[in-house]
Structure 1
Amino acid sequence: MKYPALLPFTDVLPVLGQFDAIIDVRSESEFALDHIPGAINCPVLDDDERIRVGTTYKQVNAFEAKKVGAALVSRNIARHIEQSWIDKPRDWKPLVYCWRGGNRSGAMAHVLAKIGWPAIQLDGGYKAYRAHVSTELTQPPRLDFRVICGTTGSGKSRLLEVLDAIGAQVLDLEQLAAHRGSVLGNLPGEPQPSQKRFETRVWDKLRHVDPARPVFVESESKKVGNLRVPDAVMEQMRASPCIALTLSRPNRVRLLMEDYHHFCFDPATLNTQLDCLVQLHGRDKIDRWHAMANGGRMPQLVDELLVDHYDPAYVRSIDRNFAQYGAAEALELADIGAADFLAAARFLHPA
């Protein structure tokens, strides 16, 4: 094969894990929005440099813009080689891509190949990769989902974590979305990914699943925070067998106090989130909940939120949205210790 070789994503996908490096040469903001799993960001033009080249193109002409861009690209490629790859052996095999498989990745792949490395350039770039992901999520493989259902605080997420740890197949949508799936579900210090990044994470997880084995998933709504679960994945989940996880209300309060302990130290943030419920519960009740948060009466507040908000919402939605919930397998947790979740996980996924 002559290098740099230009290959479509359909040829690259089966060997994606065999590259020594997947190099995304787009700018840092493009990379942050979404990228191929495992890719590293080595821009040949950063955000400011792209603006500079684009401005020259519009205000002067294409020839002057190409000169400016060529100088910047050359310096950046040299810097990446010196800082990151100068010690790589001759058989080091990188995959290089940009937005459409054009000049940016072409320049990087050309230089790497001239050095002697077997560089591959992705034909069509990220745009071709994104089209593949979109198609796959529109028509995902038929999977044996087992949907873990249960009221807020019953331990669904913890159970998924333990199932994953003992080798079961798990699709943890809340983990992939960086959100706990409720009005109070924002994770402190961890913003949600973009919709495209979330879909990449879902696609990457599903492509490694063995369809002959069960895949455990939580009974999510169509949106996890601000992110939408792909429709075809959601349709499969809602038609799948269910597991009804139960835990006593006092233990649910304890579990939620542990999982949402950050709100105990920041009642102002909690109250801002509670304001989202004014339309459902009225200003008077929200003000009373504010007073509980400000007064440190968190267990009482959590208990009222369960009784007045979360549990009624769950009852209204679960039968309507999950067709097999009426025949769900019952699984009761006695407590919220590690041994309790391990026993439940072993029941669902025997060693």
Structure 2
Amino acid sequence: MPAAINLPLMNNDERAAVGTCYKQQGSDAALALGHKLVAGEIRQQRMDAWRAACLQNPQGILCCARGGQRSHIVQRWLHEAGIDYPLVEGGYKALRQTAIQATIELAQKPIVLIGGCTGSGKTLLVQQQPNGVDLEGLARHRGSAFGRTLQPQLKPGKF
């Protein structure tokens, strides 16, 4: 995901230990082990990193692979620290499924492509449409024919 910040609750070793415990002893034992592994100074360091990320990205959203206990624990700890931060229910997996479904639905709708000479009013026409999407504007793909200040053009993955 563009601009995503990876700040996991557990490192790979901790996650592996909790996963093994889950398979051998069940969810309660795994949860207890997770809390034991991410406690004290380790928890504080991770909380400091999450707090800083939340303050630097107030429009952000918590998201993990499946939206399970780990992301809910992080959200709860942030709430206890006075930071209410939204969470993607179902995690990246649900987000991806929603995007796939939206793409399928969009493919069934008619698309109108507007073309014309520079200065003919294409952008204004697109902006007047209830569902108009100005791809050139989103990509910052503008010429300087009319003296507008140029903004750097975005790379395809950023728009």
User: Structure 2 length as normaliser, TM-score?
Assistant: 0.57
Query: In the alignment, is residue 144 of structure 1 matched against residue 118 of structure 2?
Result: no
Shift of 1:124: 1.8
Work out the CA distance in 2 between the residues paired with 1:97 and 1:110. 14
Query: In the alignment, is residue 125 of structure 1 matched against residue 91 of structure 2?
Result: yes
Q: Which residue number in structure 2 is paired with residue 53 of structure 1?
A: 18
Q: Which residue number in structure 2 is paired with residue 63 of structure 1?
A: 28
Work out the CA distance in 1 between the residues paired with 2:94 and 2:5. 18
Query: In the alignment, is residue 109 of structure 1 matched against residue 84 of structure 2?
Result: no
C-alpha distance after superposition, 1:65-121 (max 9, x if no partner): 2211122344654222324635976xx565212223221111111111111122212
1:129-208 pair list within 5 angstroms: 129-140=95-106, 142=111, 144=113, 166-167=141-142, 201=157, 205=159
8 Å contact 1:93–1:118 — kept in the other structure? no
Residues 145 and 45 (structure 1), Cα distance of their counterparts in 2 relative to 1, 3 Å cut: farther
Query: In the alignment, is residue 97 of structure 1 matched against residue 55 of structure 2?
Result: no
Q: Which has the larger radius of gyration?
A: 1
Work out the CA distance in 2 between the residues paired with 1:106 and 1:45. 13
Q: Tell me the number of residue pairs that the alignment of Structure 1 and Structure 2 aligns.
A: 121
Q: Which residue number in structure 2 is paired with residue 330 of structure 1?
A: none
Work out the CA distance in 1 between the residues paired with 2:83 and 2:60. 8
Work out the CA distance in 2 between the residues paired with 1:88 and 1:122. 15
Q: Which residue number in structure 2 is paired with residue 42 of structure 1?
A: 7
Work out the CA distance in 1 between the residues paired with 2:25 and 2:45. 28
* Aligned partner of residue 61 in structure 2, secondary structure: strand
CA RMSD of aligned residues (A): 3.6
Shift of 1:54: 1.1
| AA of the residue aligned to 1:137 | T
8 Å contact 1:77–1:108 — kept in the other structure? no
Work out the CA distance in 2 between the residues paired with 1:44 and 1:126. 16
Shift of 1:134: 0.8
Identity %: 27
Structure 1 or 2: more strand by fraction: 1
C-alpha distance after superposition, 1:293-330 (max 9, x if no partner): xxxxxxxxxxxxxxxxxxxxxxxxxxxxxxxxxxxxxx
Q: Any gaps of 5 or more consecutive residues in structure 2?
A: 116-138, 144-153
Q: Any gaps of 5 or more consecutive residues in structure 1?
A: 1-34, 147-163, 177-200, 206-351
Residues 93 and 42 (structure 1), Cα distance of their counterparts in 2 relative to 1, 3 Å cut: same
